[in-house]
Structure 1
Amino acid sequence: MLSTGDRVVFETDGFGGAGIVDDAMPDGSVIWVWTDDGMGRRMICTKDGASIAREDGESWQSAR
């Protein structure tokens, strides 16, 4: 399970990026990430085909 403050990389809707987990639903279905490079806060829905992994390479969730 991802925790607030974890560094992650993600891909969703043809957009990839990295950032820090701000919050997550208890079931992990939705994760909010403060993205790097000034892209703001992004909501990532894993059931929409998004993938997200800890930056250290540990895969956490993929709906592909």
Structure 2
Amino acid sequence: MATRVLAIFPDLDIAGIEQFRGRWDPLAAAVPAHITIAFPFAWPGTARSARRRAAAGARRVRAIPG
């Protein structure tokens, strides 16, 4: 069984976030700003099936008001 990680890499203006990460996050240069959904977890299926399951769950969640 494979270990998976689900993360979202938003397509937003994240200059301020990257500046903060550059100061405090030692992995900022290696990994772009993202939102970790699940880390790590065992998944018996393929990466594609994990993405499909996560997408189905995300469709049931309301957007965060902004």
TM-score normalised by length of structure 1: 0.21
More strand by share: 1
More helix by share: 2
When Rg is computed on C-alpha atoms for both structures, the one with the higher figure is: 2
Does 1 or 2 have the higher relative contact order (CA < 8 Å, sep 6+)?
Answer: 2
TM-score normalised by length of structure 2: 0.21
